[in-house]
Amino acid sequence: MAVIGVVGAGVMGVGVAQNLAQTGHDVVLIDKDEKILAEALAAIARNSRLSRLMGGPALDPDAVLARISTAVGAQGAAKADIVIENVTENWDVKREVYETLDAVCGPDTVFVVNTSAIPITKVGAVTGRPENVIGVHFMNPVPAKPAVELIPGFHTSSQTVQRTRDLLTAMGKKAVDVKDSCGFVSNRVLMLTVNEAAYLVHEGVATAESVDEVFRSCFGHPMGPLETADLIGVDTILYSVEVLYEHYADSKYRPCPLLKQMTDAGLHGRKTGRGFYTYNGADRPVASAV
């Protein structure tokens, strides 16, 4: 049985680790300190208990957790066959992570880049194995989303594509093939939408509740763009928009000042308890926070 390393125990890393474990994979969940890892395991147990209520399969939290070990530091990925990276959308942080992983992992280890916007070829270029680097853009919440974007870089080998596709199939995911381009398909569109929705609140055109209600009631979306921002993380939205703005040098990606202010203020959405909405223990939006 292959061992899958999951680097980054935030919202996305928690979802990826849970999805892997509940589909029978052995996982090493890796982050920079024990407290983060302990919180991640608690979140996985909680999410597993709630799985059936959220429309997913009935899960035994103990059985899910039994497949997940933890490690502090990238050395924990040394024996992994495939590493799925989920750290913040900050190029300096990602580059350092990949330089470290490249030094500790075996030459055949595949690096899966779970990124919202950063080009896969750029990531591959800082490793000595660009043929083993591939992008998979998981959607949040990971266990509940049936599809992902599969993004080979310029040098990604056909063997790496197939190994990754096989893993995704085993996780119950449909892989949608997308060429390497900053933001890919989903976030070239989604980040524009969320950023413009934030501008509507920033300019006083509508409240966050009203913006989201238009998308739910008029367009039939199950969740509005600002609820989505809170789910993904307002800080992650900002970093992704900044990557798009820098890469394309196009003013349509200009980051909304409100996203910057909220990020600085720690209003990052569900993971901090406040974003465009405030949240109670059931993670339901109860009132506008901005």
Active site residues: 116, 137, 149, 187
What is the Cα 203 distance to its own chain's centre?
29
DSSP strands (E only) in the chain:
3-7, 26-31, 68-72, 82-85, 110-113, 133-137, 147-152, 174-177, 277-279, 285-288
Collect all residues with Cβ–Cβ distance below 8 Å to 93 and sequence separation of at least 6: 87
Q: What whole-number distance in Å separates Cα of residue 165 and Cα of residue 100?
A: 25
Q: Which of these, 130, 177, 138, lies nearest to 154 by C-alpha position?
A: 130
Q: Could you tell me which residues are beta bridge partners of residue 72?
A: 31
Gap between the Cα atoms of 47 and 53, Å rounded = 10
Pairing between strand 110-113 and 82-85? parallel
What contacts 173, CB < 8 A, 6 or more positions away? 145, 146, 147, 148
Report yes or no: 92 and 118 within 8 Å, Cβ to Cβ: no
Angle at 35 between CA 34 and CA 39, to 5 degrees: 115
